[in-house]
Amino acid sequence: MARRKYVVGNWKMNGLTAALGEAQAIFAAAGAHPAVDIALCPPFTLIGAMVAAAPGAVVGGQDCHAAASGAFTGSIAAPMLVDAGAALVIVGHSERREGFGESDADVRAKAEAALSAGLSVILCVGEPREVRESGDAVDYVLAQVAGSLPGAFDPARLAIAYEPIWAIGTGLVPTVADVAEMHGAIRAKLGEQAGAEAADAMRILYGGSVNGENAAELLGAGDVDGALVGGASLTAGKFVPIVEAAAGLG
Ligand code: PEP
């Protein structure tokens, strides 16, 4: 199956109202590449304003709670993201898994809550440096996939993002061969868990220090269907070249 390229920006804890102009510039430039799906995930506080500033743009959250409501001070529920105008949510980012102690079971519960609320999901997995160095990265990541994947889902609404932790925000990237090996192994695992047809339809994004210079090579690797981009998603000047690289591969 031909899978559409998907380039998603994760603004993390960056962005005030003044940054909406960058989002507008990103979505305007992305409009020239209709073969590529684009989304931005700003902080919760900017979701509604970004949707209003860029009508028709696909905007998402960076996390959600597994419960639909309740006494969870400081948390955001999936239906709240929908209410704010979000169409998707990232779950299981390593900065949540590591910084907030989220387990695979927690990530799975969040993904299921998001899907139930009508959101699409980007489910992140990825190994720490010592696991890569010990040669166990594939086994580690496949265990994360097995433990985090929702029980039942529409493959069109669930993407996996492979993000080696040691590559996030460091300028380091795996070799193209290592990326292709990991993405192929993830797709095979998805086939075991969800069936061959679902696995073939699902998009698997690469994330970790993607920029305008390395995007074409990384996105051209086997079984790579797009990118989850952190630092380089904050400005149109850095993000649009990644979208252009994805469009060139379409
Ligand atoms: C991320 O945090 O999802 C990410 C990929 O960050 P960066 O592109 O900055 O490495």
pLDDT averaged per 10 residues in sequence order, the chain, 250 residues: 93 98 97 96 98 97 98 98 98 96 98 98 98 98 98 96 97 97 98 96 98 97 97 98 90
194: Cα separation from own chain's centroid: 19
- Whether 95 is covered by a domain: the verdict is no
Which residues are CB-neighbours of 98 under 8 A, at least 6 positions away?
Answer: 165
- Whether 239 is covered by a domain: the verdict is yes
- Whether 172 is covered by a domain: the verdict is yes
Residue 210 CA: nearest ligand 1 atom is 8
- Whether 39 is covered by a domain: the verdict is yes
pLDDT at 250: 54
Q: What distance in angstroms lies between residue 206's CA and the mean position of ligand 1's atoms?
A: 10
- Whether 153 is covered by a domain: the verdict is yes
CA distance 217 to 206: 11
The domain tally of the chain equals 1
- Whether 98 is covered by a domain: the verdict is no
- Whether 237 is covered by a domain: the verdict is yes
Q: Is the CB of 92 under 6 A from ligand 1?
A: no
Residue 165's domain comprises 5-44+52-80+105-184+195-249
Q: Is the CB of 207 under 6 A from ligand 1?
A: yes
pLDDT at 101: 95
93 is catalytic: yes
Q: What is the CATH number of the domain that holds 139?
A: 3.20.20.70
Q: Is the CB of 210 under 6 A from ligand 1?
A: yes
- Whether 93 is covered by a domain: the verdict is no
CA distance 204 to 188: 12
Residue 49: which H helix or E strand, with range?
helix 44-53
For atom 2 of ligand 1, the residue with the nearest CA is 230
CA distance 31 to 24: 11
Asked whether 146 and 193 are in contact (CB, 8 A), the reply is yes
Tell me, yes or no, if the pTM score tops 0.85: yes
Q: What distance in angstroms lies between residue 40's CA and the mean position of ligand 1's atoms?
A: 13
pLDDT at 149: 98
pLDDT at 249: 75
